[in-house]
Structure 1
Amino acid sequence: MAGYRDLLRTPGVARIIAAQLTARLPSGMTSLAVLLHIEQVTGSYGAAGLVLAATSVGQAVAGPVTSRWMGLWGMRRVLSITLAICATAIATLALVEMPLPAYMVLGLVAGLSTPPIQSAVRTIYPKMVNSRQLTPLFSLDASLQEIIWIIAPVLVTFVATQIGTVEALILIVVILVGGGLWFILSPEVGRVRIPRSRRSIGKVLAKPPVLLATVIGFLLIGGCAAVEAGVVATFGHSGLEAGLVLAVFSIGSLAGGLGFGHIPIGPWAMARRMGIFTLGLLLAVVSLDVWWLGGTLFLAGIGIAPALAVLFAMTSASVKFSETAEAYGWIGTGQLIGAAAGSAVAGFLIDGVGPQGAYMAAAAFAGIGFLVAVVFVRGFPDLRGRDASPIPDTEPVSTIT
C-alpha cells in the first residue's frame, strides 16, 4: 500500500483517477436505468431490450472510431462533442415520450456518442508517471473501477424505484456532464496530444498483444456477465442476497488488483490470473448456497482486476503512442461484445437447466480465456524490468499548453 500512496502523491494522478472514475460512473448506471424507464413507459421488457441492444451496438461500433478521432482532432474536442451529444440523447430519452423506433434511434445515438474517456485516460497515464510506476498505476486503475460496479447499480436502482425512472436518467446526465467536464478540463488532458496515426483503422489488431488483449477481454467480461445473470437468477431481482454476492465478487476483484499490482508482469502472468478466475467459477458450479457462492466468487474476483491490468500494460508496451487510444478502443469493444454474449448464453442456459447453467457458462468463458493465455503465451510480452510505456513515434510531436 505504501507504493500506491507514493503513486497517488505523484502530481495529477489522484485527480485524474477521481475525475475519470466520476465521468465513467454512468457506464454502470445507464443500461439499468434505460431498462427500467423503457419498461415503465412501454410496459414491455422486450421493448426495453431492443433499446438496450441499440445502445450496446452503438457503443461497440464507436469505441475504436472515437478513440482514433482523438489523434485527429485532439482529446478535448472529441470528448466535448461526444459528451454533449450523449447527454442530449439520454435527456431526450428521459423527458420525451415517443414510439419505440425513436427510442431505439436515441439509444443508438447515445451509444455512438459515448465519450471515449477510458481510452483517453489510459493513453494519458504513461505521460504522467515514470516507467517503474506505470504497471502499478494500471493495476490501481483496474482495481478502482470496481467502485463503479459496486456503487452505480445500487444508486440508480434506488433513485429509479424510490423517486422515478426519469429522475434516474437525469441523474446520469448530471454525473456524465459534471464528471466529463472535470476530466476534460484536467490539465493533463490539455497537455497530452495523441499523434495522428499513419495506419488505417483496424491495423493495430494485427499486433499479437492487442489481438490477445481484445480476445481475452471478450472472454473475461463474458464470464463476468454470465455470473451477474446467474446471481440474479439464483436469488431473484428483489433478493438482497443478489446484491451482496455481486458486491463480494467486485470486492474480490478490488482486493486482487491492490494485492497483485506490484508483481512484475511476465508472459505467464495472464495465464495465472485467468487460472484463479476459472478456478473460482468452476467451484461456484458446485452449489448455489449463498455462502458458497460468496466465497467462490470472491476467489474468482481476485483474478479479474489483475488480468485487466495485464491487458492494459501489454497493450501500452506493444503499440506506438499514436495507436494507443485506438487499441484501447478495440479492447473496449471486445469487452462490450463479451458482456452481450455472456448474458445471452447464460440466459439460454438459465431457461434450459436453471441458474447453475449460468455459472457453467461463466466457467466456460473463463476456461477458454485461460487456454488462450496458455497456448499463445509467446504472444505476451515480458514486462519484468521493462518500461511498459508505448513505443515512441518517430516524428516530433507538438505539445498543447
Structure 2
Amino acid sequence: MAGYRELLRTPGVGRIIAAQLTARFPNGMASLALLLHVEQVTDSYGAAGLVLAAASVGQGIAGPVTSRWMGAWGMRKVLTLTLIVCACSIATIALVEMTVPAYMALGLVSGLATPPVQSAVRTIYPKMVNSRQLTPLFSLDASLQEIIWILAPVVITFVSTQVGTVEGLLLVVAILVGGGAWFISSPELGRVRIPRSRRRLGLVLAKPPVVLATVSGFLLIGACAAVEAGVVATFGHSGLEAGLVLAVFAIGSLAGGLGFGHLPIGRWAMARRLAIVAAGLALAMASLNVWWLGGTLLIAGAGIAPAFAVMFAMTSISVKFSETAEAYGWIGTGQLIGAAAGSAVAGFLIDGVGPQGAYLAATAFAVVGVVVAVVFVRGFPDLRGRDASPIPDTEPVSTIL
C-alpha cells in the first residue's frame, strides 16, 4: 500500500483516476437503466433485450474506431463529440415514447457514441508516471474500476424502481455529462497528444500481445457474465442475496488488484492469475448455498483485476504510442463480445440444467483462458525489470549532406 500512496502523490494521478472513474460510472448503470425503462414502456423483456443488443453492437463497433480518431482529431474533440451524441440519445430514449425499432436505433447510436474514456486514460498513464510506477498504476486502475460494478447497479436499481425509470436514465445522462466534462477538462488531455497512426485500422492486431490481451479479455469477461447470469438465476431478480454475492465477487477483484498489483509481471503471470479465477469458479459449482458461493466467488474475484493489469501492461509495452488507443479499443470490443457470449451460453445452460449450468460455463471460459495463456506463453512479454511504456513513434528526419 505504501507504493500506491506514493503513486497517488504523483501530481495529477489521483485527480485523473477520480475523473475517469466518474466519467465511466454510467457504464455500470446504462444497460440496467435501459433494460428497466424499455421493459416498463413495452412490457416486454424481449424488446428490452433487443435494445441492449443494439447498444452493445454499437459499442463493439465504435471501440477501436473512436479510439483511433483521437490520434487524428485530438482527445478532447472526440470525447466531447461522442459525449454530446451519447447523452442526447439516452435522454431521448428517456423522454420520448416510441416504437421498439426506434428505441433500437437510438440504442445503437448511444453505443456508437460511447466516449472512449478508457482508451484515452490508459494512453495518458505512461506520460504521467515513471517506468517503475506504470505497472502498479495499471493494477490500481483495474482494481478501482470494480467500484463502478459494486455501486452503479445498486444506485440505478434503487432510483429506477423507487423513483422511476425515466429519472434513472436522466441520472445516467447527468453523471455522463458531469463526469465526462470533468475528465475532458483535465490538464493532461491538453498536454498529451496522440500521434496520428500511419497504419490501417486493424493492423495493430498483428501484434501477438494485443491479440492475446483481446482473447484473454474475451474469455475473462465471458466468465464474469456467466457468473452474473448464474447468480441471478440462483437467487432471483428480486433476491437481496444476488446483489450481495455479486458485490463480494467485485470486492474480491478489488482486493486482489490492490494485493497483487506490486508483483512483477512475467510470461506466466496471466496463466497464474486466470488459474485463480478458474479454481474459484470450479469450487462454486459444488453448492448453491449463499455462503459457499460468496466464499468461492471471493476467491475467483481475486484473480480478475490482476489479470486485467497484465492485459493493460502487455498492450502498452507492445505497440507504438500512436497505436495504444486503438489497441485498447480492440480489447474493449473483445470484452463486449465476451459479455454477450458468456450471457448467451449461460442462459441456454440455465434453461437446460439449471443455475449450475451457468457456473459450468463460467468455469469453462476461465479454463480456456488458462489454456490459451499456457499454450501461447511465449507471446506474453516478460515485463520484469522493463519499462512498460509504449514504443516511441519515430519519423524520418531529413538531413543536409
Q: Same fold (TM over 0.5)?
A: yes
- Give the ranges of 4+ consecutive aligned residues of structure 1 lying more than 2 Å apart after TM superposition: none
Q: Could you tell me which residue of structure 2 aligns to residue 107 of structure 1?
A: 107
Distance 1:308 1:346 in 2: 22
Distance 2:260 2:103 in 1: 43
Q: Aligned partners of 2:381, 2:164: CA distance in 1, in Å?
A: 49
Question: Which residue does 2:68 correspond to in 1?
Answer: 68
Q: Give the partner amino acid of 1:271.
A: A
1:315 alignment partner in structure 2: 315
Structure 2 partner of 1:8: 8
- Corresponding residue for residue 78 of structure 2: 78
| Amino acid corresponding to residue 5 of structure 2 in structure 1 | R
Which residue of the partner structure matches residue 399 of structure 1? Answer: none
Taking the TM superposition and a 5 Å limit, the aligned residue runs for 1:15-164 are: 15-164=15-164
1:214 corresponds to which letter in structure 2? T
Shift of 1:395: 3.1
Amino acid at match of 1:174: A
**1:17-55 deviation line (CA, Å, top 9, x unaligned):** 000000000000000000000000001000000000000
Distance (Å, rounded) in 1 between the aligned partners of 2:138 and 2:341:
26
What letter matches 1:134 in structure 2?
L
C-alpha separation in 2, matches of 1:347 and 1:263: 37
TM-score, L = length of structure 1:
0.98
Residue type at the aligned position of 1:229:
A
* Distance of 1:100 and 1:241 partners within structure 2: 33
Residue 145 of structure 1: how far off its partner (Å): 0.1
If the length of structure 2 is used for normalisation, what is the TM-score? Answer: 0.98
1:201-220 to 2 correspondences below 5 Å: 201-220=201-220
Question: What is the CA–CA distance in structure 2 between the aligned matches of 1:133 and 1:208, rounded to whole Å?
Answer: 24
1:355 corresponds in structure 2 to 355
Paired residue secondary structure (1:60): helix
d(CA) in 2 for partners of 1:183 and 1:206? 31
Residue 335 of structure 1 is matched in structure 2 by 335
CA distance in 2, matches of 1:82, 1:177: 11
Letter in 2 for 1:343: S
Q: Does 1:197 align with 2:201?
A: no
**Pair 1:272 & 2:272 matched:** yes
Distance in structure 1 (CA, Å) of the matches to 2:378 and 2:368: 17
Cα shift at 1:291: 0.6
**1:288 maps to 2:288:** yes
What is the alpha-carbon distance in structure 2 between the residues aligned to residue 83 and residue 223 of structure 1?
Answer: 30
**Aligned position for 1:378:** 378
| Alpha-carbon separation, structure 2, partners of 1:262 and 1:358 | 33
Deviations 1:319-371 (Å, cap 9, x if unpaired)? 00000000000000000000000000000000000000000000000000000
What is the CA–CA distance in structure 1 between the aligned matches of 2:85 and 2:370, rounded to whole Å?
39
- When the two chains are superposed, the root-mean-square deviation of aligned CA atoms in Å is 0.9
* Inter-partner Cα distance in structure 2 for 1:314 and 1:280: 25
1:163-312 aligned within 5 A: 163-312=163-312
Distance 1:161 1:100 in 2: 22
* SS of equivalent residue, structure 2 residue 359: helix
1:393 to 2:389 alignment: no
Distance in structure 2 (CA, Å) of the matches to 1:49 and 1:249: 25
Question: Deviations for 1:218-247, whole angstroms, at most 9, x for unmatched residues?
Answer: 000000000000000000011111011000
Aligned equivalents of 1:205 and 1:250: distance in 2?
30
Q: Aligned AA for 2:120?
A: A
**CA distance in structure 1 between the partners assigned to 2:109 and 2:241 by the alignment:** 35
- Flag structure 1 segments of 5+ consecutive residues without an equivalent: 397-401
Whole-Å separation in 2 of the counterparts to 1:220 and 1:332: 12
- Local SS of the residue matching 2:288: coil
| Aligned residue identity for 1:288 | L
- Does the residue aligned with 1:181 lie in a helix, a strand or coil? helix
Displacement of 1:285 after TM fit? 0.6
State the Cα deviation string for residues 246-287 of structure 1 (Å, max 9, x = none).
000000000000000000100000000000000000000111
For 2:371 and 2:386, how far apart are their aligned partners in 1? 26
